[in-house]
Structure 1
Amino acid sequence: DQRITSADLHNECTGTHTGTSASAPLAAGIFALALEANPNLTWRDMQHLVVWTSEYDPLAGNPGWKKNGAGLMVNSRFGFGLLNANALVDLADPKRWKGVPEKRECIVQDKSLNQG
């Protein structure tokens, strides 16, 4: 288990901070850096930046990794891997990131349900 050094409830340093209570604020900080680099990012841009810049290799020894339809490794426990702040912020730079296209919705009616 990797741990994060942080301040604890008693304003002291702790080196045993783990889990989602550690990862959520870390991710929020990384996303803030990306938004500082490119204030025009949308929530969909952020999703794509996370997917394209996360690192699978450090977690590859854990079970459950599968290659998805886009050829990327994904895991039900680890998503696309560890966030890479440097890679995410670099890719978010408006000189590099042109945004994702508008979301499209396709609705297909299942006619077999209408047959009595």
Structure 2
Amino acid sequence: MGIHAFPLGLRLIVDETDRAALLAGSVREPSADGEAGADQGLDAVAAYNAFVLDPTADPSAIRAGLPRSVAVLVDVVLYTVGLADTPPPVDEAAAPEVRAVVLAALAGAATEAG
């Protein structure tokens, strides 16, 4: 998450090989199928990643399939693409890097509001 520009930057990278390569400084484009982790049976992550690229699915269903530590990202996507008027509040149960993404959305909204 956060390695690529929007919308790809909001996708979750769950493949340990990809994660290790990113930590080593190798930034590569995600696979063309847009389904990071699908080959590992991570259907909820694959559904979320598809939602990032095309946010027309039911956000409640996408959110419900994700662990609470990342579920707020659904609301960040909705705000970022203009389907929500305000960014979500920070969820203290979210992973630290997810809270950072939410805080960035809140900061952008505050800047835009003056």
Normalised by the size of structure 1, how large is the TM-score? 0.24
Kindly indicate whether structure 1 or structure 2 has the higher relative contact order, using CA contacts under 8 Å at least 6 residues apart.
Answer: 1
Relative to its length, the structure with more helix (as a share) is 2
* CA radius of gyration, larger in: 1
Task: Provide TM-score, normalisation by structure 2.
Answer: 0.24
Greater strand proportion: 1
